[in-house]
């Protein structure tokens, strides 16, 4: 080999001379087997676990969703405290707009004919009085129901309480019926329309699947086994799938989650994208670690008398709030996660020779022979002189 001194050629040598490691071939089946077996284990993990089980080669995106709901059903109530009354959707479904969270009234404490006026407070240790001196005018008791006027009035024939300025008569919500007023609500149905988008993959879908026809939709009812794709749910069914009893829950109300899981695999070779419905009670029904159990809120219907006075019917509404919660992640083959995971796997493959070397140099009988031929100790210059090396 002739030595070139041209600097350009030197540079070319520097860039294009290819430096490859010298290797020693060990014709040992045992070492070879350990090497191949370790390689196989790594490949198995990469192909089997990372690719097939975890689908780590996929990019992911979160769902964007819109929900429309429509409740159907009516009920008739005839209890002693109240006039017989017919209830339709407009009466018990609040708010009426039919978005992802809807409320079905099941129990009610009504206080009709409230006006801005004065009346005796509900009796309790802090409101009971003997004469006007016990009642401080203008006092605003956070647990009371109004601003004290400073007078002590008869609440009933046996007890006197401080008079307050408030919406009178005051609401008495202590004797809530043990059985829900709208017990029939368990047979109401709700139609849930849900359309989702995975913006990264430009993928759109509805929970009313394309193979379902309108006739089926008019008569079907969701059932995990027989009708898993019907978007119409009977309230009783929802509550019982959540492991609760409708009549129990209806008395004091609660919050029930209708969870729609849109986890999807959007790879073309395995396209699978269906909504999966599950139901969970979301509020805490246990009385410990709890405050204001159940679910209720107050609202009022405002009227005006012929004389122009404002009157309202106060309604304390107990019921079940259904929250439709849509979640999910879609995965689709993506070049970056694939590369990253392949790269990580390759790193592990590059560990395999270390394992085989270690095995070869510690567990084999001929380890000293292998070691001597594999590794060379640096030879000092003086020794090199006399050595048989012919390097230029």
Structure tokens at 1: 């080999």
Helix, strand, or coil here: 66? strand
Residues 308-327: x/- map of binding to a copy of itself (CB under 8 A)? Answer: ---xx-x------x-x-x-x
Q: Does residue 35 bind a copy of itself (CB under 8 A)?
A: yes
Give the residue, chosen from 43, 273, 282, 355, that forms a contact with a copy of itself under the rule CB under 8 A. Answer: 282
Q: Which stretch binds a copy of itself (CB under 8 A): 46-54, 128-136, 154-162, 172-180?
A: 46-54
What is the footprint of a copy of itself within residues 136-175 (CB under 8 A)? 140, 142, 145-147, 165-167
Which of 200, 234, 159, 160 lies closest to 331 in space, CA to CA? 200
Question: Closest approach of Cβ 360 to a copy of itself, in Å?
Answer: 7
Q: Does residue 101 bind a copy of itself (CB under 8 A)?
A: yes
What is the footprint of a copy of itself within residues 292-311 (CB under 8 A)? 292, 295, 297-304, 306, 311
Q: Does residue 206 bind a copy of itself (CB under 8 A)?
A: yes
Structure tokens at 335: 């070049």
Q: Does residue 276 bind a copy of itself (CB under 8 A)?
A: no
Q: Is 225 annotated as a binding residue?
A: no
d(CA 187, CA 206) in angstroms, rounded, equals 26
311, 304 in Cβ contact below 8 A? yes
Tell me the DSSP string of 199-244.
GGGTEEEESS-TT--HHHHHH---BTTTBTT--EEEHHHHHHHTT-
- 180 CB contacts (<8 Å, ≥6 apart)? 106, 107, 247, 250, 251, 318
Structure tokens at 380: 């000092």
d(CA 122, CA 199) in angstroms, rounded, equals 57
Q: Does residue 2 bind a copy of itself (CB under 8 A)?
A: no
Which of 79, 44, 106 lies closest to 297 in space, CA to CA? 106
Under DSSP, the state recorded for 269 is G
195, 163 in Cβ contact below 8 A? no
What is the footprint of a copy of itself within residues 327-356 (CB under 8 A)? 327, 335-336, 339-348, 350-351, 353, 356
Which of 21, 7, 26, 2 lies closest to 366 in space, CA to CA? 26
Give the residue, chosen from 12, 44, 47, 82, that forms a contact with a copy of itself under the rule CB under 8 A. Answer: 12
What is the footprint of a copy of itself within residues 121-140 (CB under 8 A)? 140
Q: Does residue 239 bind a copy of itself (CB under 8 A)?
A: no
d(CA 387, CA 379) in angstroms, rounded, equals 9
What is the footprint of a copy of itself within residues 252-271 (CB under 8 A)? 255, 257, 259, 261
Q: Rank residues 250 and 360 by Cβ distance to a copy of itself and give the closer one.
A: 360
Give the residue, chosen from 5, 8, 16, 158, that forms a contact with a copy of itself under the rule CB under 8 A. Answer: 16
Q: Does residue 280 bind a copy of itself (CB under 8 A)?
A: yes
Question: Closest approach of Cβ 132 to a copy of itself, in Å?
Answer: 19
152, 160 in Cβ contact below 8 A? yes
Q: Rank residues 130 and 391 by Cβ distance to a copy of itself and give the closer one.
A: 391
Question: Closest approach of Cβ 224 to a copy of itself, in Å?
Answer: 18
Question: Closest approach of Cβ 157 to a copy of itself, in Å?
Answer: 27
Q: Does residue 234 bind a copy of itself (CB under 8 A)?
A: no
d(CA 122, CA 194) in angstroms, rounded, equals 47
Which residues are annotated as part of the binding site for ATP? 70-72, 189, 296-298, 316
Which residues are annotated as part of the binding site? 70-72, 189, 296-298, 316
């Amino acid at each position: 080999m002739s030595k070139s001194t041209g600097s350009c050629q030197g540079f070319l040598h520097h860039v294009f001379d290819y430096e490859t490691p010298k290797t020693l071939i060990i014709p040992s089946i045992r070492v070879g087997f350990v090497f191949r077996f370790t390689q196989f284990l790594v490949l198995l993990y990469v192909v089997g676990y990372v690719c097939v089980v975890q689908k780590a080669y996929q990019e992911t995106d979160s769902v964007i969703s819109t929900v429309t709901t429509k409740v159907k059903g009516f009920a008739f109530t005839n209890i002693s405290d109240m006039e017989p009354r017919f209830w339709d959707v407009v009466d018990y479904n609040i708010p009426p707009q039919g978005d992802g969270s809807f409320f079905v009234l099941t129990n009610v404490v009504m206080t009709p004919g409230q006006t801005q006026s004065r009346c005796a407070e509900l009796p309790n240790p802090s409101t009971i009085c003997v004469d006007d001196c016990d009642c401080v005018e203008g006092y605003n008791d956070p647990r009371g129901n109004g601003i004290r006027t400073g007078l002590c009035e008869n609440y009933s024939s046996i007890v006197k309480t401080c008079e307050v300025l408030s919406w009178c008569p005051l609401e008495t919500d202590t004797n809530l019926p043990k059985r829900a007023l709208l017990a029939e609500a368990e047979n109401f149905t709700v139609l849930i329309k849900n359309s989702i988008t995975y913006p990264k993959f430009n993928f759109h879908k509805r929970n009313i699947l394309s193979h379902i026809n309108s006739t089926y939709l008019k008569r079907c009812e969701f059932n995990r086994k027989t009708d898993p794709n019907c978007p119409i749910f009977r309230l009783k069914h929802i509550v019982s799938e959540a492991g609760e009893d409708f009549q129990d829950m209806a008395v004091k109300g609660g919050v029930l989650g209708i969870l729609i899981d849109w986890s999807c695999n959007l790879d073309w070779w395995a396209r699978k994208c269906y909504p999966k419905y599950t139901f969970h009670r979301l509020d805490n029904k246990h009385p410990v670690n709890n405050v204001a159990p159940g679910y209720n809120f107050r609202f009022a219907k405002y009227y005006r008398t012929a004389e122009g006075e404002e009157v309202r019917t106060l309604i304390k509404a107990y019921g079940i709030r259904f929250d439709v919660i849509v979640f999910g992640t879609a995965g689709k083959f993506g070049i970056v996660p694939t590369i990253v995971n392949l790269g990580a796997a390759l790193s592990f493959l590059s560990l395999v020779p270390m394992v085989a070397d270690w095995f070869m140099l510690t567990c084999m009988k001929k380890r000293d022979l292998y070691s001597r031929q594999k590794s060379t100790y640096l030879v000092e210059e003086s020794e090199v002189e006399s050595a048989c090396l012919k390097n230029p």
